[in-house]
């Protein structure tokens, strides 16, 4: 790294050192002998943005834990080509030699941190997308007068459920990221044996239920798990297929209405 300019003006402020890395990218260096503070953190960000630098080095004799965490967060949240370093300055002496500076990186970028940051951003985007998907589905269900989930609010999960009239049973809408959605009757009373008993009692009426539903269903007893379920999968697209949401949601609402009507009376008899 080579120095380009010392105390370069940025508006009414001065960058302590403006440097250049081996690839020709600008690097801002901010020096602080006292403990790190919010003022210098703000300066680091201001200089980086205004000079369009790709890296910032913040040097301090006493990095505070909250600023170490802030730099770690910035390395996760910013683009892959943007890097932040928090460096602690101390002095050391070997024998009777003159004191020499020692620079230790307290917080810096890494491939794993950037990858983790990208995963968190993708997850956040997915949550926003799911909220919007469920909002639209509930509105379309209301317009179609399919009111089974009328009292339910949108959520960030990939499922949206409502009680099926018996404790531990729920009618769930499902949406995957790609390729498919679905509806199901989820059976989980908290008791393995009770779940299997309910499933078996409903499956004894499989032919009549599927005739009422209008299609075959997936009967998943799941013997290696506590819960059981009766599911219908719709392969018209998933969460990413935003242009097809309306037709996908219509198919989900129709399938849910048919599933509830096919099993609700039988659930009441359990």
Q: What is the pLDDT of residues 122-146, one digit of tens each?
A: 667 888 999 999 999 999 999 999 9
> How many C-beta atoms surround the C-beta of residue 158 within 10 A?
18
| Whole-angstrom distance, CA of residue 196 vs CA of residue 31 | 67
pLDDT band per the 50, 70, 90 thresholds, residue 261 = very high
- What is the reported pLDDT for 91? 81
User: What whole-number percentage of the chain has pLDDT above 70?
Assistant: 95
More confident residue, 128 or 24: 128
Confidence (pLDDT) at 157: 94
Whether residue 42 contacts residue 28, with contact meaning beta carbons closer than 8 Å, is answered with no
Per residue in 61-117, pLDDT (tens digit) is 899 999 999 998 888 888 888 889 999 988 877 777 777 788 888 888 877 666 665
Q: Please give the Cα distance from 226 to 218 (Å, whole number).
A: 17
Choice among 55-69, 80-94, 146-160, 206-220 with the minimum mean pLDDT: 80-94
The DSSP code sequence of 91-128 is EE--TTSPPEEEEEEEE---HHHHHHHHHHHHHHHHHH
Residues contacting residue 98 through CB under 8 Å, at least 6 positions apart: none
Domain 124-268 has CATH 3.30.9: no
pLDDT, residue 6, reads 84
Half-sphere exposure of 114 (CA within 13 A, CB side): 11
Name the CATH architecture for the domain at 2-109: 3-Layer(aba) Sandwich (3.40)
Domain ranges of the chain: 2-109, 124-268
Task: Express each pLDDT in 161-195 by its tens digit.
Answer: 999 999 999 999 999 999 999 999 999 999 999 99
């Amino acid at each position: 790294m080579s120095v380009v300019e010392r105390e370069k003006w940025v508006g009414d402020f001065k960058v302590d050192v403006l440097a250049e890395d081996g690839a020709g990218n600008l690097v801002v260096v901010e020096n602080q002998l006292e403990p790190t503070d919010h003022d210098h953190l703000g300066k680091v960000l201001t200089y980086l943005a205004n000079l369009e630098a790709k890296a910032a080095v913040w040097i301090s004799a006493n990095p505070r834990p909250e600023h170490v965490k802030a730099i770690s967060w910035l390395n996760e949240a910013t683009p892959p080509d943007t890097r932040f370093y928090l460096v602690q300055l101390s002095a050391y002496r070997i024998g009777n030699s003159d004191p020499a500076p020692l620079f230790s990186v307290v917080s810096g970028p890494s491939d794993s941190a950037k990858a983790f940051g990208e995963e968190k951003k993708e997850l956040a985007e997915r949550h926003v997308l799911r909220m919007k998907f469920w909002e639209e589905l509930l509105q379309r269900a209301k317009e179609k007068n399919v009111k089974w989930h009328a009292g339910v609010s949108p959520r960030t999960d990939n499922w949206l459920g409502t009680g099926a009239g018996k404790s531990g049973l729920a009618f769930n809408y499902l949406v995957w990221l790609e390729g498919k959605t679905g509806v199901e009757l989820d059976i989980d009373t908290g008791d393995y044996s009770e779940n299997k008993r309910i499933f078996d009692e409903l499956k004894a009426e499989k032919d009549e239920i599927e005739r009422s539903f209008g299609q075959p269903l997936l009967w998943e007893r799941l013997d290696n798990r506590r819960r059981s379920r009766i599911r219908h999968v719709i392969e018209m697209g998933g969460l990413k297929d935003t242009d097809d949401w309306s037709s996908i949601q219509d198919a989900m609402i129709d399938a849910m209405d048919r599933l509830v009507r096919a099993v609700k009376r039988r659930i009441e008899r359990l």
